[in-house]
Amino acid sequence: MSKTDTPLEFMGTSREDLSEIPDEVKYCIGFALRTAQKGGKHSDAKPLKGFKGAGVLEIVSDFDGNTFRAVYTVKIKGVIYVLHAFQKKSKKGISTPKTEIDKIKRRFKEAELGGERMKKKVRVTKSSGNVFADIGLPNAAEHSIKADIVLRIAARIKSKGLTQAKAASLLGLAQPDVSKLLRGHFAGYTYDRLFGYLNALGEKVCIEISEAKTKKGARLELEMTD
């Protein structure tokens, strides 16, 4: 996590709830939260009905015939709060069940209190600095770096005014694969492959190796400049 990233905190049991959903769904939701920390908005993030102007967004992800949802807010005191995560078990309709909406509203009001007043009413868990580790994904450190590379790829595609079809042609991918990549499904991609996409989009990639002063400091880091 860089100094410019928006801090991330989990309300109530939302972190544990996210940890229990399938990894395929975690990849999408985790990437959406990482995108929000960088000031962006995931393509699958939609305003949740009933919270007009409050910056409450919902991510809906389908996997293996089941629907999973995560709700977060981006407009409270410079912190992204994950309000709730759950599996929609009802087969009728697409709207969020009232019981889940009530829980979201309660946690949203508690988040608005902020600081110590909020902590007295609900458990709040600060992110470790890596959202993918927070929600229990394997190889979280590697995945976090890949996420930031993909966000850079997405930014370059947007700045060049490319459609996904044109980007696919440039990157040597099928259009559906570009869509999946930009939505957070990149676990199977190597660094080399992702760096190649940046090269194709006109970015220069430099790799620097230096001796770590401590055992803890021996790690992978990613630094990007404009």
Residue 49 sits in the same domain as residue 127: yes
What integer is the mean pLDDT of 87-94? 64
Specify the pLDDT at position 118.
Answer: 63
Residue 109, C-beta contacts closer than 8 angstroms, at least 6 positions apart: none
The residue range of the domain holding 174 is: 139-226
Specify the pLDDT at position 115.
Answer: 62
Q: How far apart are CA 21 and CA 36, in angstroms?
A: 20
The CATH number that applies at residue 144 is 1.10.260.40
Residue 23 sits in the same domain as residue 53: yes
Residue 129 sits in the same domain as residue 146: no
Give CA 129 to chain center in angstroms: 12
Residue 30 sits in the same domain as residue 122: yes
- Give me the phi and psi of 8, to 5 degrees please: -120, 135
Measured between its terminal Cα atoms, the distance across the chain in Å is 18
Residue 121 sits in the same domain as residue 167: no
Q: Which of 99, 134, 169 is where one domain is finished?
A: 134
| DSSP helix/strand/coil, 75 | strand
Residue 112 sits in the same domain as residue 19: yes
The pTM of the full predicted model, rounded to 2 decimals, is 0.90
Q: Which of 134, 169, 187 is where one domain is finished?
A: 134
Residue 112 sits in the same domain as residue 151: no
For the chain, the domain total comes to: 2
Q: How far apart are CA 194 and CA 101, in angstroms?
A: 39
What integer is the mean pLDDT of 10-25? 95
Residue 96 sits in the same domain as residue 190: no
Specify the pLDDT at position 120.
Answer: 67
Specify the pLDDT at position 89.
Answer: 67
